[in-house]
Amino acid sequence: MHAKPPKIDMTPMVDLFFLLLIFFILTATFRPQEAVMVDTPSSISNTTTPEKHIITLMISKDNLVFFNVDNGVDTSEHLRGKILQAVGQQYQIKFTPAEIKRFETMNSFSMPMDKLKDWINESDSKVRDAMHSGMPLDSIDNQLLMWIRYSRQYYPEFEVAIKGDRDADFKKVKRVIDILQDNNVNKFNLTTNLESVDISLDNL
């Protein structure tokens, strides 16, 4: 006769698994698809970005400047929509309520104001991603300045994160920083990857 195989009651473990699983599913926030891949440089800095109320300026590998702003903690404020309307008014472009609503769920963009409407209305994400032609930021037509100015008008405590690609030209980053300083933003968060560095004084 065989001895009875030992049986373990796994029910509590499975219960725990499910509890944790539900917890992680609920707390997970999925990052929306970015318009470009940005390979950030690394640093030893260990501080994390604030989650909300942040203006993100991405500088891609080919030196395009992308602008993004979030809706804020309280999504009923519709910050993005308000900012879009304000900037649109500045350039005499009217957006329909449907367009504003759609814009609120969208992500970073890099294009002049007159093309923004087409970008919002384009349903194919591939076509949309190909539409980023660059944000005008020279002194004659400085639209980035406008975006930052109106964003801060609706919420003055917006933090600014600069997410530059490793191989972006520093000149372009410097230009973006200059524009920010024109808007009285003097504190920046440079998005980086974490790296660890060990140094010893032995070889000095």
Partner 1 sequence: MAEIIANEGGGKQKGKKRSKRHSTHIDMTPMVDLACLLLTFFMLTTAFSKAKVMEIVLPEKTPKDQEQDAPEVDKDRALNIILVKDNKVLWYNGLADPTKPPLPTLNETDFSDEGIRRVVLQRNKDLFIQIEEMNKGIVEGTLKIPKDSVSARRKKMMTEDRKGPVILIKAADEVKYHNVVDIIDEMAICNVARYALVDINSVEKKMVADYLAGKASGAASLK
Q: Which residues bind partner 1 (CB under 8 A)?
A: 10, 14, 17-18, 20-21, 24-25, 27-29, 31, 40-49, 59, 161, 164-174, 177-178, 181-182, 184, 186-194, 197, 199, 201, 203-204
Length of the chain: 204
Q: What is the largest CA-CA distance in the chain?
A: 93
Q: How many CB atoms lie within 10 A of CB 151?
A: 24
Spatial neighbors of 104 by CB under 8 A, at least 6 apart, are 71, 78, 80, 81
Closest to partner 1 by CB, 90 vs 107, is: 107
Q: 115 or 174: whose CB is closer to partner 1?
A: 174
Minimum distance from CB of 132 to partner 1 (Å)? 19
CB of 40 to partner 1, least distance (A): 8
Closer to partner 1 at the Cβ: 11 or 105?
A: 11
What is the rounded CA–CA span in Å between residue 94 and residue 77?
Answer: 20
Q: How far apart are CA 167 and CA 195, in angstroms?
A: 18
Taking the complex as a whole, the smallest distance from the CB of residue 87 to partner 1 amounts, in Å, to 23
Tell the smallest beta-carbon distance from residue 36 to partner 1 (Å): 14
Task: Using the minimum distance from each CB to partner 1, give the nearer residue, 73 or 130.
Answer: 73
The answer to whether 133 and 113 have CB atoms below 8 angstroms apart is no
Q: State the nearest-atom distance from the C-beta of 145 to partner 1, in Å.
A: 13
Which residue lies nearer to partner 1 by CB, 21 or 98?
Answer: 21
> Which residues touch 39 (CB under 8 Å, ≥6 apart)?
61, 165, 166, 167
